[in-house]
């Protein structure tokens, strides 16, 4: 047994972890320093609290590995089969690859996502116009029965569906099949009684999609990934697309919610940055204050290594905490939190060889979503105090279950849809200059939406299950 497995450690995920997370991290930092031993759902792990130590782990892919084959206790059969985090870790996908296999898979994904992240590409301009359309459709839909004022759940009615609709387009699903996929992703993320069946349907749909794209490529991520690596198996590519679906839906939707909360109630300068038109900086400040992944998936050292005040044995699980690293006093001293421009040094997207390859696209979805929200509403305020908002308690993700708000719509008219030919929204990535809205080159063709525009009255009698689900959120009692 290693030193970690013989230490007496306390549970990390207490019943008040979400509301006291900063205090818990401070207590651990005071007791152990930059790295602390903790109990994670019954399994001991090292939690990295220091910013410099976090960068040390994240940037060194030679010394720190992601594959579970490097986890000593796992390979020796000492991790219970019913350990709650195993289903999330036992996935054969890029996020858990190492070395050449990781480099090959990542290169294919970066090539596939480049047309949608490079603002000079037609596909990127089309997509940004489509994100704006989806955002406006959702806002129109959630407010269409209440006049200029009302109450809404921005989590269920806006922040969660928006990135799913965008991802549906990126994967190239047909409209009807795309609605079914969105519903199943929702079921998986909610971990309800039908989650297992939903995963099975999702994987079947994704494998079918890969076969379709092999036969008839399109302007979408699976087609570009197949072009970059034709030898990739159908099953492996389906897993990669599953990762795209779930991480985009959960991580991007969570960051969108967290950004809105920071603007409405935070003390990080997010409101000042929004007022200055620096939407990208707003997203950065929210990512600093409340990263959607407060803990990252494990790394394992290939040999004993000193980290903080401890020697970490080979094969011990090490979990980097961006939330704790951002609160590291040595790091916080270098961030002028009352300024309108930050260092953009947050770890919300990770760092090093496993840094999120779609971070610019994800930041753009959040930036456009936030921008349209505060342009469409003249007034927006929470219906609950911030400390009473319902947060999920999760080992990795930090997000809201709901975001109830009262709103007043702006009187400015909004077009029913984004024009098929005309100026598009150009969003500069979050790492670099702040987001700006500028005229871009003409969009040569419209991109089909995942569902009919919610503002088109003619579609109401035949709305899909997806829009009917959103309608259910809108009809919940105000007290909820």
Q: What are phi and psi of 241, to 5 degrees?
A: -70, -35
| Higher pLDDT pick, 311 / 453 | 311
Q: Give tens-digit pLDDT for 253-276.
A: 999 999 999 999 877 677 777 877
Q: Please, which residues bridge with residue 408 across strands? A: 149, 379
What pLDDT shows up at residue 413?
A: 63
Residue 24: is its pLDDT beyond 90?
A: yes
Q: Structure tokens of 177? A: 């099949």
Contact yes or no for 166/134 (Cβ under 8 A): yes
Q: What are phi and psi of 48, to 5 degrees?
A: -90, 115
CA distances (Å), 462 to each of 166, 255, 409, 456, 465, in order? 22, 32, 26, 11, 9
What pLDDT shows up at residue 152?
A: 93
Distance between CA atoms of residues 464 and 452, nearest Å:
9
Domains of the chain: 3-474 (1.10.630.10)
Q: Which residues contact 333 (CB under 8 A, 6 or more apart)?
A: none
Listed range (9-13, 82-86, 174-178, 286-290) with the worst mean pLDDT: 174-178
Helix, strand or coil for residue 107? Answer: helix
Distance between CA atoms of residues 223 and 220, nearest Å:
6
Across the chain, mean pLDDT equals 82
What pLDDT shows up at residue 439?
A: 27
DSSP string, 187-245: HHHHT-TTHHHHHHHHHHHHHHHHHHHHHS--SSHHHHHHHH-TT--HHHHHHHHHHHH
Cα Rg of the chain, angstroms: 22
Q: Structure tokens of 328? A: 């590291």
Beta strands in 265-386 (DSSP E): 300-301, 305-307, 310-312, 318-320, 377-382
| Higher pLDDT pick, 439 / 100 | 100
Strands 64-65 and 300-301 turn out to be antiparallel
Summarize the confidence of residues 150-161 as an average pLDDT: 92
What pLDDT shows up at residue 414?
A: 63
Residue 149: is its pLDDT beyond 60?
A: yes
Residue 454: is its pLDDT beyond 90?
A: no
Residue 339: is its pLDDT beyond 80?
A: no
Q: Give tens-digit pLDDT for 361-420.
A: 999 999 999 999 999 999 999 999 988 999 877 888 888 889 999 999 998 766 554 333
Contact yes or no for 398/291 (Cβ under 8 A): yes
What pLDDT shows up at residue 441?
A: 28
Q: Give tens-digit pLDDT for 114-146.
A: 999 998 999 999 999 999 999 999 999 998 876
Alpha helices (runs of H) in 13-63, residue ranges in sequence order: 17-32, 51-59
Listed range (21-35, 92-106, 180-194, 232-246) with the worst mean pLDDT: 180-194
What pLDDT shows up at residue 91?
A: 82
| pTM of the predicted model over 0.75 | yes
Distance between CA atoms of residues 309 and 311, nearest Å:
7
Among 250, 276, 271, 243, smallest CA distance to 259 is for 271
């Amino acid at each position: 047994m290693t030193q970690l497995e013989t230490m007496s450690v306390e549970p990390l995920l207490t019943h008040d972890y979400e509301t006291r997370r900063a205090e818990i991290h401070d207590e651990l930092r005071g007791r152990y320093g930059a790295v602390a031993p903790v109990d994670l759902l019954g399994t001991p792990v090292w939690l990295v609290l220091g910013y410099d130590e976090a960068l040390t782990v994240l940037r060194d892919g030679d010394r720190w590995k992601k594959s579970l084959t490097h986890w000593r206790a796992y390979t020796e059969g000492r991790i219970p089969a019913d350990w709650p985090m195993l289903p999330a870790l036992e996935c054969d996908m890029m996020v858990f690859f190492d070395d050449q296999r990781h480099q090959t898979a990542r290169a294919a994904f970066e090539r596939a996502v480049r047309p949608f992240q490079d603002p000079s590409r037609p596909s990127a301009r089309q997509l940004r116009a489509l994100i704006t359309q989806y955002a406006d459709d959702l806002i129109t839909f959630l407010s269409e029965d209440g006049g200029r004022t009302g109450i809404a759940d921005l989590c269920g009615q806006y922040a969660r569906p928006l990135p799913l609709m965008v991802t549906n387009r990126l994967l190239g699903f047909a409209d009807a099949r795309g609605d079914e996929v969105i519903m199943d992703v929702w079921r998986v993320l909610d971990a309800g009684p039908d989650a297992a069946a939903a995963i099975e349907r999702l994987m079947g749909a994704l494998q079918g999609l890969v076969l379709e794209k092999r036969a008839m490529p399109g302007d979408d991520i699976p087609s570009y990934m197949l072009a970059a690596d034709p030898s990739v198996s159908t099953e492996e590519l389906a897993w990669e697309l599953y990762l795209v679906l779930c991480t985009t839906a959960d991580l991007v939707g969570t960051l969108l919610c967290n950004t809105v909360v920071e603007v409405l109630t935070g003390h990080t300068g997010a409101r000042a940055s929004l007022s200055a038109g620096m939407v990208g900086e707003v997203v950065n400040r929210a990512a600093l204050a409340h990263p959607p992944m407060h803990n990252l998936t494990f790394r394992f050292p290939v040999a004993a290594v000193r980290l903080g005040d401890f020697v970490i044995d080979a094969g011990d699980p090490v979990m980097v905490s961006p939330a704790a690293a951002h609160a590291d006093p040595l790091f916080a001293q270098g961030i002028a939190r009352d300024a309108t421009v930050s260092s953009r040094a947050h770890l919300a997207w990770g760092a090093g060889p496993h840094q999120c390859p779609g971070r610019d696209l994800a930041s753009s979805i959040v930036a456009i979503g936030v921008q349209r929200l505060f342009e469409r509403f003249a007034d927006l305020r929470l219906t609950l105090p911030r400390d009473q908002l319902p947060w999920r308690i999760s080992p990795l993700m930090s997000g809201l279950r709901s975001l109830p708000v009262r709103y007043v719509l702006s009187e400015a008219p909004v077009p029913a849809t984004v024009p098929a030919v005309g100026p598009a929204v150009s969003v500069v990535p979050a790492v670099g200059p702040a987001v700006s809205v500028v005229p871009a080159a003409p969009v040569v063709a419209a991109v089909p939406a995942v569902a009919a525009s919610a503002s088109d009255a003619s579609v109401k009698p035949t709305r899909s299950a997806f829009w009917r689900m959103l309608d259910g959120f809108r009809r919940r009692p105000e007290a909820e």
